[in-house]
Chain A
């Protein structure tokens, strides 16, 4: 970890998550301490069962820890009621899922402004236009998801994640269902959001090429952080992953 004065967007302290009990208990997170710096693109990787998805779900307020704490900014998620958690997700966190990101009955624009509409308002007009332009959706905003390609749908998802100016954006395998060219587009948008718009993005992936777009890669195995790589390239990432396998 860097000893710089960057702020921390989210962190976990001694985070443990255990499913089931007794002899059938599965430990997904085994006492993780991690700090995710603001204004950075961080990838989280690891074999299946490593706990990477669990870690993200807990950081995002979608799941709760068995013990330990999780913070978004200065807010301790374990202290929040279900309604407050929902509001946190709505106002301060952005999401991009692998698939089924959009509400089929709403237009692209309505999907993008969804979190703000849920709060009873609408996003800042100027910011909204910038996001739509940046994601290249200006001429597709009135279309329904069924009328958009897979790549366009993911772009709408990214735009939605950005539109409400969250503190942190979580992306769960955002390019998993896309071909490499469209995937690269999406990854490019996310990096642009970090570099030019000062957003924080945390992406779970198993794809070394996707991971190479990040500033840093966290490697998890058996519920623990086992490695950290800065300025990743696909080859370096692949290399580290092979080491994990041993």
Chain B
């Protein structure tokens, strides 16, 4: 039986091309993502090992706090460095300072301004070769406050040379320095493309931290002393000196921690990509299922013959499974190799230095997925093959499946109906989970009821085609609905990809519309001064003061965001001035809005939840300054979307607890009678020296947020493209195999006078109708899902639900075009059929 199966496979291998491709592409995606991740992990592992190669121990504060999803650590006192140095087993100990620093290029632009680029860092220079992974290539290290060293990669890209004067921007402002050295990181010019500016320790403390503070102390042990030994010695010494709140890690531990932290961050991105890879594989499974279904249907006679001469049902079923295994193995193998190629290409694009890390786990996962999916998808067709009655070898017997399909259809309608109801309930009730479950139910319902739905919908979609294209269109429409089960599963593959795209488009459009509405209705500001990206460097506070003094400006409201712990849980804080309430359309419903020192204003919802009233005291624990008692001076409320969080402080109060004296944004309201056009040049002039300041109108701001959202949307689209390509392959496959089945009919049509171009047109239109079937179902599903999500989050700021009708129409047109493309090859081959051979096909 195995031989029969494999021979059969080889005989009609042409029919399995699409199946191979579907498997290969899905496996390539998974394998590529996994391999790229493994490669990047290995590259970063090596990087961290290099960084900490000579370090035997690291001393740092053990107090951390999560601030806006990032972990921040408290700093060490300078005295700790002296205490560590006095430990006998310590050979060298140096304090480390680090922070954000942007080097200004020759055109006056700070480098590294993009959202997704590598970090721009600054730190203090150490001449100790064990502790400093950077080595000077030209010049020397900085010795005085006015000197700096930069990394070789930045030197190359900016063209700076030793002896030049270089400006560097930090949170302390912009300073000018003499470039005394250029440093490389081992063999590379800079680690992972990050830029570095190195100052003397004192200067670094001034710019990036605080005088007499370090972020960490790094230690080299005396010869012969192990890492564990020197670490425990330091721990004992510090405890003896009553230094609390510090932890001592060995060099090994620090390395491993950095490596695993990075792995964690990378895995977040990887999982995002893998989700789409899985979608592609799922779509591929539809194609595989369809393919095998059709092939089994076409070989009914052969199967019947085998059964007639004595093969058991199990043997016939197994023969099909063997074919599936063969296809799965070969397809997965080819796919994985393809995936390696993709990973290599992406590696080059992202400028990752290491060689490709092909791990057995990646191979096993990717190939295993491909194989398992192929076999699973072929199981139902295999079972169907085994059900062919032997008598079918003698005459044409139609297997009556109408009873079972009615049950399936009814179940599908029921499940789908429940699903939609659940979505509606969840949407109106604000329960996101119910919406999610409802969507799953709807999807399952659609998949089950597909065949029942396929014919009426494709007839409806094909109606204009039949009317406008005469007999050609009529035949196309009839053929599209001829085998509803086949059309349904082909269309459903496309439905998934289109549904995802539609969903994200609806959500994107709705978010942007909601933001615009908030800015329109609640926001009273005229300009927003932004600090330009996530570089970690803000606008010095003096800018807000200067802007506030301009005659054209009614108020310049600085905004800062930080965090503190309340009862052990991190709370996001906003620090601003009292003009903020007016600017954001908020009301202080009780108490005062003055935001004086020692005061905090609380959001009404939070106050109710925590039983806080005006006059109560609340203790917030700040990372650097510790627990602080603040008086609740006021309670505020306002439209959901423009709220400023649970706790609002005055700028001066926050400045007492955080040494970073810069604003994230400044909101400008213009004086009465001043037109924005008048004010802009004035604002531009004042902000010009503050290089990262970006003066935006409300429209500009809305657009820039939109642009950032679009980046995500485009990423999603790019990742979904593969799933759509596979689905299109499925359409080509279905059309091609259907044409094969209808050879005799095509011969007849050609004999009575259908021209070749009419044959091609009929097949193309059939394909278009199927593509539109899948797209329309997908769009409906995507819009439903988008509505469910947006409506259920209405109280969290998603005020507007908007459908991008133009884009969706464009998608439909694109689908029609793709349907035409998918049919080109089968249509051409069909038109080339020899009429006589076709008529006389046995």
Contacts and interface: CB of A to CB of B under 8 A. Distances in A.
Given A63-B836, A117-B471, A89 B751 contact: yes
B758 interface: yes
Contact of A97 (B471, B479, B748): B748
Interface of B: 470-471, 474-475, 478-479, 482, 744-745, 748-756, 758, 835-836, 839
Contacts of A57: 836
B474 A83 contact: no
Contacts of A83: 755-756
A119 interface: yes
Contacts of B755: 83, 86-87, 118
A105 B471 contact: no
Contact of B835 (A62, A90, A106): A62
Given A86-B754, A95-B752, A105-B482, 19 more contacts: A86-B753, A86-B756, A89-B752, A90-B753, A90-B754, A91-B753, A97-B751, A97-B839, A101-B748, A104-B745, A105-B478, A106-B475, A106-B478, A114-B749, A118-B471, A118-B752, A118-B754, A118-B755, A120-B470
A57 B747 CA distance: 13
Nearest to B749: A103
Nearest to A86: B755
A159 to B, nearest CB: 13
A126 to B, nearest CB: 22
Contact of A86 (B475, B482, B745, B750): B750
Contacts of A160: 752
A82 B479 CA distance: 26
A102 B747 CA distance: 11
Nearest to B759: A86
Q: Which 3 A-B pairs have the closest CB atoms?
A: A90-B753, A105-B478, A117-B471
Contacts of A104: 745
Nearest to B748: A100
Contact of B752 (A90, A105, A110): A90
A208 B341 CA distance: 70
Contacts of B745: 100, 103-104
Contacts of B758: 118
5 contacts: A86-B756, A87-B753, A104-B745, A106-B478, A160-B752
B751 A62 contact: yes
A190 to B, nearest CB: 17
A33 to B, nearest CB: 23
B753 A118 contact: yes
A46 interface: no
B479 A105 contact: yes
A119 B756 contact: no
A51 interface: no
Contacts of B749: 103, 114
B750 to A, nearest CB: 7
Contacts of A86: 750, 753-756
Nearest to B477: A105
A63 B750 CA distance: 12
Contacts of B756: 82-83, 86
B753 A105 contact: no
A37 interface: no
B395 to A, nearest CB: 13
B753 A103 contact: no
Contacts of B750: 86
A120 B471 CA distance: 8
Nearest to B746: A103
B546 to A, nearest CB: 78
Contact of A103 (B748, B835, B836): B748
Contacts of B478: 105-106
A174 interface: no
Contacts of B748: 97, 100-103
A83 B753 CA distance: 9
B475 to A, nearest CB: 7
A110 B479 CA distance: 15
Given A105-B475, A105-B478, A106-B478, A115 B470 contact: no
A88 to B, nearest CB: 8
A75 B156 CA distance: 81
Interface in A64-98: 82-83, 86-87, 89-91, 95, 97
Most chain A beta-carbon contacts within 10 A, residue among B748, B749, B758: B748
Interface-central residue, B475, B479, B758, by most chain A CB under 10 Å = B475
Contacts of B753: 86-87, 89-91, 115, 118-119
Contacts of B744: 100
Contacts of A120: 470
Contacts of A119: 753
Q: In this complex, which of B479, B750, B839 has the most chain A Cβ atoms within 10 angstroms of its Cβ?
A: B839
B473 to A, nearest CB: 11
A99 to B, nearest CB: 9
Nearest to B472: A118
Nearest to B835: A62
A203 to B, nearest CB: 16
Of B470, B474, B475, B753, which is in contact with the most chain A CB atoms at under 10 Å from its CB?
Answer: B753
Contacts of A101: 748
Contact of A110 (B474, B482, B754, B839): B474
A176 to B, nearest CB: 13
A100 B743 CA distance: 11
A110 B477 CA distance: 14
Residue of B482, B744, B752 with most chain A CB atoms under a 10 A cut-off: B752
B785 to A, nearest CB: 35
Nearest to B757: A83
B777 to A, nearest CB: 23
A158 B539 CA distance: 89
A160 B835 CA distance: 19
A165 B762 CA distance: 26
Contacts of A91: 753
B470 to A, nearest CB: 6
Contacts of A106: 474-475, 478
Contacts of A118: 471, 752-755, 758
Nearest to A160: B752
Contacts of A115: 752-753
A31 B376 CA distance: 60
A240 to B, nearest CB: 27
A157 to B, nearest CB: 10
A115 B471 CA distance: 10
Residue of A103, A110, A119 ringed by the most chain B CB atoms within 10 A: A103
Contacts of B475: 103, 105-106
Nearest to B750: A86
A106 B748 CA distance: 13
Contacts of A110: 474
Contact of A95 (B482, B751, B754): B751
A65 to B, nearest CB: 13
A101 B751 CA distance: 10
A100 to B, nearest CB: 5
B659 to A, nearest CB: 79
Contacts of B836: 57, 62-63
